Amino acid sequence: MKFDKEGNTTYFEKKKTELYQELGLQARDLRFQHVMSIATRNNRIIMRMEFLKAVITPEFLLILDYRNLSLEHWLLNDLASQLAGEGQLVTYSLPFEFRAIEAILQYWISKLQGRLNTLQPQILETLEALVDPKLLSVDRSKLHILLQNGKSLSELETDVKVFKETILEILDEEEVIEELCLSKWTDPQVFEESTSGIDHAEEMELLLENYYRQAEDLLNEARELRVLIDDSESIIFINLDSHRNVMMRLNLQLTMGTFSVSLFGLIGVAFGMNLESSLEEDPRIFWLVTGIMFLGSGLIWRRLLSFLGRHLDPPLPPHVPPVLKKSQPAAGRVDIKTNLKGETFGLSRSTLTNQ
């Protein structure tokens, strides 16, 4: 698909050998892989934005192999008007290659922003459902959704980093920025404007810096979302550990109770043996032995629970001996002064009171 300066569109099919000979390029220049790069050759700009492949000249823009890429809506409705100067581009008063570069960069950054806008509410909704302290277990379907969204977020971060690094490589090379200004070397009027006051290389640098900052902001938003996922994951593990500790503590308490009952149950075992003694003839011995068993079991269980509480409860914070001095007793205020430097101990009482 070919776009001229007025936004007129034409379609044609041509072999790559004929095309690179017509454009004065080499065969490897049109061997587009799914990479991201911006390069110049023979007063032509070759832009590779993964599946979006474009060749920019001072007179027209070529979009190559655009079929089956869902680009028709953008190409027909937005790109043509932007190249004609009717869209919301800041470079509409500059030469044609500025508008073409800005239109492609704007499309790509908006595509990345759209992916983030789609992922963000899904991730927040999933995290809100998972980070609930009342839940005793985690919904595996929610975890699966979070895992898929996390992978999509990682892919987005990688794409934004590659986009940002591609622009940064150009910003670090002043000669490449000069080469991107195609009309400066072909149009005498543009060259005269560039030497008289309008520095097109500086305008190109400002344009690239603008989209570099947008990519940086987008990457920061993605990183914040990644940090939120990591923090929420920690909260989920803390909640699960808390419920697991409660169950383990309950299990330990029941085990202690079973041990206490079993310990004093030996008395009942002793009286249950088929041996004769004078105690079984007394009708009060049964109730006495039963009471001793229950009372002893309860006392032992109570002691074990108190032992468990002393060793499992969180310890108190260590006591830090401060130098306390009360001032203004009428207002009920207490000032705590901690002296950590040796020279402070040499101050007089009046100086310390004033402080």
Domain membership of residue 155 (yes or no) is yes
In this prediction, residue 212 has a pLDDT band, given cuts at 50, 70 and 90, of very high
pLDDT (mean) for 289-306: 79
Domain membership of residue 332 (yes or no) is no
Q: Based on the domain organization, do 252 and 233 belong to the same domain?
A: no
User: What pLDDT is attached to residue 209?
Assistant: 93
Task: Scan for tokens 């939120």, then name that residue.
Answer: 228
Task: Say if residues 157 and 219 touch (Cβ distance below 8 Å).
Answer: yes
Q: Quick one: which of 105, 94, 99, 79 has its CA closest to 7? A: 79
CA-to-CA separations, 311 to 240, 299, 306, in angstroms, rounded = 22, 19, 9
Using CA atoms, how far apart are residues 49 and 113, in angstroms rounded to an integer? 15
Question: Which structural domain, as residue segments, surrounds residue 296?
Answer: 244-272+283-308
User: What pLDDT is attached to residue 164?
Assistant: 92
Question: Which of the pair, 323 or 29, is modelled with greater confidence?
Answer: 29
Q: Based on the domain organization, do 253 and 145 belong to the same domain?
A: no
DSSP 8-state symbol, 314? P
SS3 label, residue 9: strand
Q: Based on the domain organization, do 259 and 291 belong to the same domain?
A: yes
Q: Based on the domain organization, do 255 and 206 belong to the same domain?
A: no
pLDDT at 338 over 50: no
The token duo for 122 is 């899904």
Q: Which residues contact 104 (CB under 8 A, 6 or more apart)?
A: 47, 49, 52, 54
Using CA atoms, how far apart are residues 188 and 196, in angstroms rounded to an integer? 12
Q: Based on the domain organization, do 75 and 201 belong to the same domain?
A: yes
Q: Based on the domain organization, do 231 and 262 belong to the same domain?
A: no
Q: Based on the domain organization, do 47 and 122 belong to the same domain?
A: yes
Q: Based on the domain organization, do 233 and 254 belong to the same domain?
A: no
Lowest pLDDT segment from 12-26, 205-219, 225-239, 273-287: 273-287
pLDDT in tens, 62-115: 888 767 667 777 887 788 878 877 766 777 778 888 888 988 999 999 999 999
pLDDT at 337 over 60: no
Tell me how many domains the chain contains: 2
Domain membership of residue 89 (yes or no) is yes
User: What pLDDT is attached to residue 218?
Assistant: 93
Output the domain CATH number for residue 163.
Answer: 1.20.58.340
Using CA atoms, how far apart are residues 54 and 105, in angstroms rounded to an integer? 12
User: What pLDDT is attached to residue 160?
Assistant: 93
pLDDT in tens, 243-258: 788 788 888 888 878 8
Specify the amino acid at residue 242.
Answer: S
Q: Based on the domain organization, do 22 and 112 belong to the same domain?
A: yes
The percent of residues above 70 in pLDDT, for the chain, comes to 74
- Report the Cα 70 to chain-centroid distance in Å: 28
Domain membership of residue 335 (yes or no) is no
Domain membership of residue 256 (yes or no) is yes
pLDDT at 35 over 80: no
Domain membership of residue 303 (yes or no) is yes
pLDDT in tens, 134-178: 665 667 788 888 888 889 999 999 999 999 999 999 898 888 888
Residues β-bridged to residue 38: 47
pLDDT in tens, 48-65: 888 888 888 888 888 887
Using CA atoms, how far apart are residues 87 and 80, in angstroms rounded to an integer? 9
pTM exceeds 0.75, yes or no: no
Q: Based on the domain organization, do 27 and 76 belong to the same domain?
A: yes
Dihedrals φ, ψ of 274, to 5°?
-80, 60
Neighbour-count burial of 146, counting CB atoms closer than 10 A to its CB (0-12 exposed, 13-18 middle, 19+ buried): buried
Average pLDDT, the chain: 76
In this prediction, residue 307 has a pLDDT band, given cuts at 50, 70 and 90, of confident
pLDDT at 214 over 90: yes
Q: How many CA atoms lie within 13 A of 140 on its CB side?
A: 0
User: What pLDDT is attached to residue 276?
Assistant: 66
User: What pLDDT is attached to residue 341?
Assistant: 39
Q: Based on the domain organization, do 86 and 172 belong to the same domain?
A: yes
Q: Based on the domain organization, do 113 and 181 belong to the same domain?
A: yes
CA-to-CA separations, 321 to 18, 99, 337, 343, in angstroms, rounded = 87, 70, 11, 18
User: What pLDDT is attached to residue 332?
Assistant: 40
Using CA atoms, how far apart are residues 259 and 253, in angstroms rounded to an integer? 10
User: What pLDDT is attached to residue 326?
Assistant: 39
- Angle, CA 196 vertex, CA 190 and CA 197 arms, to 5°: 95
Using CA atoms, how far apart are residues 4 and 56, in angstroms rounded to an integer? 10
